């Protein structure tokens, strides 16, 4: 590309402000990771984002970053919540796409040989793909209750226990949710999808802990070598997508004046304090609640399957939630900007909150060590649990990466890989995968993602998210 970056220090690169940029842009990457985004639109998109009114300090691209809609996936933009704006494209279509990890007290020996049985049972119990319905068939009142109350609704209905709320970002409910700001069309799309993985990149993976990097923090998280854990990745399905669509269209029309000053239409933003900013924020928070309930319902099914397969109640199998993190979200948070506490819309799109010890938002169980941060890698390579790092509040508005990040588009992936071959290769590595279609497996082949070890090592070196444990895939169902 023709965008010049200056090296600020190891792993920190900067695009200095020029015409129209209100602040610099920063990329957190190794030289190799930087090279991998040199030819896509990531850097241009990151530059464009710095034109948004009220953006503070710098727009940031995380080490897993790659191009997205308007704003890179792996991007963080913190914008003045009083005098700035909020931008749906900098949140993403899949509002509160995120990951949660469920622990068990099983070891790899307990599940080895049972992969096929587990995968088949999970595949039967958890709806996948575009159709397929949900775990709960919701009427209109149900959807409204879910949007309003999040995981607390699930607890009341018997799909969650108290500790599930305690171990979820924001305790599984955004109180600013405004179901009346969500269109009927969005609600109708959500009604049949309550408790469903969705397609493609979303998955449920059984994993085993292979490496422990920080024994004290692993202990505080209840993780140890050889333990079986479960990772669930999905979001707000058609409901969130529709919310994003609805508001992008309305904001483009109502705030065309602001839009005309931005370099990319995909960055459409509503000025802070405007009716649309309020409505979008309320609708987005409602979609966030929907996604948390979605992951909770899948957790409930997973517990039921494990209880069946292993012949013990899930409580006896130690199937507690470690944590649930959102990675497509904008949230009002208070951060220090030039020595002053300011309320900001922190947009994290393909980025994870990574608050260190002490921040009041970190659940009490983890407040002394820092919040768990879950970084999926791929169905071949492995994944990580990190801990919110001491430096994150200073350099990344309390954020780090969200995954390995894509190296190539889905179309490229299908030219490059054949689903059946990928599945066989994985079987050779003793990873048992089942998906709706072979195309999904090709699009999500381990080779389409960057090197998760490299991404995580940048996070760890910068001190924004520190390595705690590494996990390897055992079996996986794909959306």
Q: How far is the CB of 452 from ligand 5GP (least distance, A)?
A: 6
- 71 token code pair: 């704003």
Distance between CA 47 and CA 263 in Å, rounded?
Answer: 9
User: Which residues inside 192-231 make contact with ligand 5GP, applying CB under 6 A?
Assistant: 201, 203, 205, 231
Q: Is 323 in the site for ligand 5GP (CB under 6 A)?
A: no
Q: Could you give the string, one character per residue 277-316, with x where binding to ligand 5GP holds by CB under 6 A and - elsewhere?
A: ----------------------------------------
Q: Is residue 324 a contact residue for Mn ion (CB under 5 A)?
A: no
Stretch that binds ligand 5GP, among 35-43, 329-337, 377-385, 434-442 (CB under 6 A): 377-385
Say whether residue 40 binds ligand 5GP (CB under 6 A): no
DSSP class per residue in 13-67: EEE---TT-SS-EEEE--HHHHHHTTTSSHHHHHHHHTTSTTB-S-EEEEEEEE-
Q: Is 402 a catalytic residue?
A: yes
Alpha carbon distance 1, 35 (integer Å): 10
| Contact stretch for ligand 5GP (CB under 6 A) within 10-18, 240-248, 365-373, 378-386 | 378-386
Piece in contact with ligand 5GP (CB under 6 A), picked from 43-51, 236-244, 374-382, 462-470: 374-382
The CA distance from 471 to 479, in Å, is 21
Residue positions counted in the chain:
479
Lookup: tokens for 373? 């941060």
- 240 counts as binding ligand 5GP under rule CB under 6 A: no
351 binds Mn ion (CB under 5 A): no
β-strand 465-478 against 432-434: which pairing, if any?
parallel
Based on the shown chain and the rule CB under 5 A, indicate whether residue 94 belongs to the binding site for Mn ion.
yes
Q: Which does 89 bind (CB under 5 to 8 A by kind): ligand 5GP, Mn ion, none?
A: none
Q: Does 350 bind ligand 5GP (CB under 6 A)?
A: yes
Inter-residue contact 42 to 66 (CB < 8 Å): yes
What is d(CA 358, CA 386) in angstroms, rounded to the nearest whole number? Answer: 16
Tell me if 71 contacts ligand 5GP by CB under 6 A: no
Q: Name which of 344 and 475 has its Cβ closer to ligand 5GP.
A: 475
* Among 95, 233, 242, residue whose Cα is nearest residue 183: 242
* Residue placing its CB nearer to Mn ion in the complex, 172 or 403: 403
Q: Residues near 454 by Cβ (< 8 Å), separated by ≥ 6?
A: 30, 32, 33, 63
Nearer Cβ to ligand 5GP (184/210) = 210
**Could you say which of ligand 5GP, Mn ion, none residue 378 binds, taking C-beta under 5 to 8 angstroms by partner kind?**
ligand 5GP
Q: How far is the CB of 400 from ligand 5GP (least distance, A)?
A: 13
Task: Determine, following the binding rule CB under 6 A, whether residue 404 of this chain makes contact with ligand 5GP.
Answer: yes
Angstrom distance (rounded) from CA 9 to CA 381: 29
- As a 3-state breakdown, the chain gives helix, strand, coil percent values, each rounded to 5, of 40, 25, 35
Instruction: Catalog residues that contact Mn ion under the rule CB under 5 A.
Output: 94, 97, 235
List residues with catalytic annotation: 402
């Amino acid at each position: 590309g023709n965008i010049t970056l200056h090296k600020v220090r190891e792993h920190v690169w900067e695009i200095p402000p020029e015409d129209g940029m209100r602040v610099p842009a920063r990329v957190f990457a190794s030289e190799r990771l930087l090279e991998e985004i040199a030819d896509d639109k990531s850097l241009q998109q990151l530059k464009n984002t710095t034109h948004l009114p009220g953006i503070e300090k710098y727009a940031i691209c995380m080490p897993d970053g790659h191009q997205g809609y308007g704003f890179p996936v792996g991007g963080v933009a913190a914008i003045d919540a009083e005098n700035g704006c909020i931008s749906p494209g900098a949140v993403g279509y899949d509002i509160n796409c995120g990951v949660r990890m469920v622990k068990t007290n099983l070891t790899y020996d307990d599940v080895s040989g049972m992969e096929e049985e587990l995968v088949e049972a999970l595949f039967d119990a958890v709806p996948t793909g575009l159709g397929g319905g949900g775990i709960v068939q919701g009427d209109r009142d149900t959807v409204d209750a879910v949007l309003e109350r999040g995981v607390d609704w699930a607890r009341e209905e018997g799909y969650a226990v108290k500790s599930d709320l305690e171990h979820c970002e924001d305790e599984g409910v955004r109180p600013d949710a405004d179901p009346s700001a969500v269109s009927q069309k969005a609600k109708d799309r959500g009604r049949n999808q309550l408790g469903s993985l969705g397609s493609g990149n979303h998955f449920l993976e059984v994993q085993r802990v292979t490496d422990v990097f920080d024994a004290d923090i692993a202990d505080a998280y209840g993780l140890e070598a050889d333990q079986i854990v479960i990772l669930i990745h999905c979001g707000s399905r058609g409901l969130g997508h529709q919310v994003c669509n609805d508001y992008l269209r309305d904001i483009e029309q109502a705030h065309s004046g602001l839009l005309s000053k931005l370099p990319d239409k995909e960055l459409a933003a509503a000025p802070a304090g405007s009716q649309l900013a309020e409505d979008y924020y309320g609708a987005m928070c409602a979609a966030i609640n929907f996604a948390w309930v979605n992951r909770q319902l899948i957790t409930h099914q997973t517990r039921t399957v494990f209880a069946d397969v292993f012949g013990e109640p899930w409580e006896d199998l130690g199937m507690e939630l470690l944590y649930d993190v959102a990675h497509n979200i904008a949230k009002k948070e208070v951060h220090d900007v030039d020595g002053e506490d300011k309320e900001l819309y922190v947009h994290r799109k393909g980025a994870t909150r990574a608050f260190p010890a002490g921040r009041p938002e970190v659940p009490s169980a983890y407040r002394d060590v820092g919040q768990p941060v879950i970084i999926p890698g791929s169905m071949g390579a492995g994944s990580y649990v990190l801990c919110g790092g001491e430096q994150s509040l200073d350099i990344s508005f309390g954020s780090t990466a969200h995954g390995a990040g894509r190296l190539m588009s889905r179309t490229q992936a299908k030219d490059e890989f054949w689903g059946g071959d990928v599945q066989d290769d994985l079987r050779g590595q003793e990873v048992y995968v089942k998906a709706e279609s072979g195309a999904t497996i090709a699009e999500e082949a381990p080779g389409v993602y960057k090197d998760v070890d490299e991404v995580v090592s940048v996070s760890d070196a910068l001190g924004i998210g520190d390595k705690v444990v590494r996990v390897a895939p055992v079996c996986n169902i794909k959306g």
